[in-house]
Structure 1
Amino acid sequence: MPDDYLDALRVEPDAMAGMKKGLANALAEGRTPLLVGEIDGRIVGFVNFGRCRDEQIGGGEVFAIYVLPEAQAGGLGHALMTDAVKRLRTDGHEEIGLWVTADNAQARRFYERFGFIPSGRVQPLPAPFPPVEELHYRLSLPEPAV
């Protein structure tokens, strides 16, 4: 994201309350699993995943994964992604996708090391985001061992 866009972001209490309520409802209804990673009782990362939002693509989707910078490089991101992929496979998904901004080289390296490959799909971020291009990555899952 462009620095000027990020610098202009503000935390609005009403918006945060609405997001918290929406996420709680989605979690309670099983619509969007969320796993968190903790260090010394403090949440330092999360992964959010579920059925792909785009029916043309299908499969499972990792909607978001984030680990605080001070907790990166310790294996937490890999552990979160591994658990999300395992759960999506258990739910019957044979392929998992995700979207990443084209200029996020660190995230792209992480996904590629995990086994995701570019699918060739490209899209701009939707409004109200700035005009930033997203790339789609996919991961084909092997059949579970019997």
Structure 2
Amino acid sequence: MTTADGAPVRVREMTEGDAGAVAAVRVRGWQVAYEGLMPRAYLDGLSVPEQAAAQRVRLRRRSPAVRDLVAERAGAVVGWACVGPAPAPDATDRPAPEVPGTAPDPVGELFALYVAPELIGMGIGRTLMTASLEHAREAGFAELRLWVVRGNARARRFYARAGFTPDGTEQTDEVGGEPVPELRYRRPVG
């Protein structure tokens, strides 16, 4: 894949050595995407070294069913996505199957998708989304879901273009002492 300016982009598995670059993309992504949606002091306090250390620990402890992907452009990590099995079902998930002895189709979750803010709109996010959906298909997920901050209009448009729709489920997380409402989106994987 190439970006809008013709630079090639390659998606590959994340390694522990990518933790610092992924942390930098994630921190800058939060600071740009959540400006005005989360407390400024919280966003300013995000630390790339702390996030990198957390990424390394997470990579060592993650389930083998979780896949972390990075997008590289000119040898630099410019995006990150993480996809795997959705957490345990809750009351808002599909009802149990009516056929005794069968299980519901597995549901996956896109836990993260970040692109370096200065490269948003270049096609890197679409490339990571395509790779994430391919992993979801390979893993046998019938659908993929994700959570997005309600006020993040850019991300909501991006996910809508990728075929995701809100399912009516909301949750509120506390970030820096303030409530941050999130919406759940879903799409079939097939």
Structure 1 segments, 4+ long, off by >4 Å, are 12-16, 126-129
Pairs within 5 Å for 1:38-117? 38-56=72-90, 57=93, 59-117=107-165
- List alignment gaps of at least 5 residues for structure 1: none
With the length of structure 1 as denominator, give the TM-score of the two structures. 0.84
Shift of 1:30: 1.5
**C-alpha contact (below 8 Å) 1:38/1:44 kept by paired residues:** yes
What is the aligned residue count? 140
Moved more, 17-26 or 63-72: 17-26
- Return the index of the structure with the highest Cα Rg: 2
CA apart distance, 1:140: 1.2
Q: What is the aligned partner in structure 1 of residue 68 from structure 2?
A: 34
Deviates more, 1:15-24 or 1:61-70: 15-24
1:50-106, CA deviations, whole angstroms, 9 ceiling, x for partnerless residues? Answer: 000142336000001000112211111001011111111111111100000000000
Tell me, in whole angstroms, the C-alpha distance in 2 between the residues paired with 1:12 and 1:114.
29
- More relative contact order, 1 or 2 (CA 8 Å, 6+ apart): 2
2:57 equivalent in structure 1 = 21
Q: Does residue 47 of structure 2 align to residue 11 of structure 1?
A: yes
Normalised to the residue count of structure 2, the TM-score between the two structures is 0.66
Which segments of 5 or more consecutive residues in structure 2 lack a partner in the other structure? 1-36, 94-105
Q: Which amino acid aligns with 2:68?
A: L
Identity %: 34
Aligned letter for 1:70?
Answer: E
Q: Is the 8 A contact 2:69 2:128 kept in 1?
A: yes
2: distance between equivalents of 1:119 and 1:125?
18
Which residue number corresponds to residue 121 of structure 1? 169
Query: Once the 2 structures are TM-superposed, how far is the Cα of residue 5 of structure 1 from its aligned partner?
Result: 4.0
Counterpart Cα distance in 1 of 2:50 and 2:79? 23
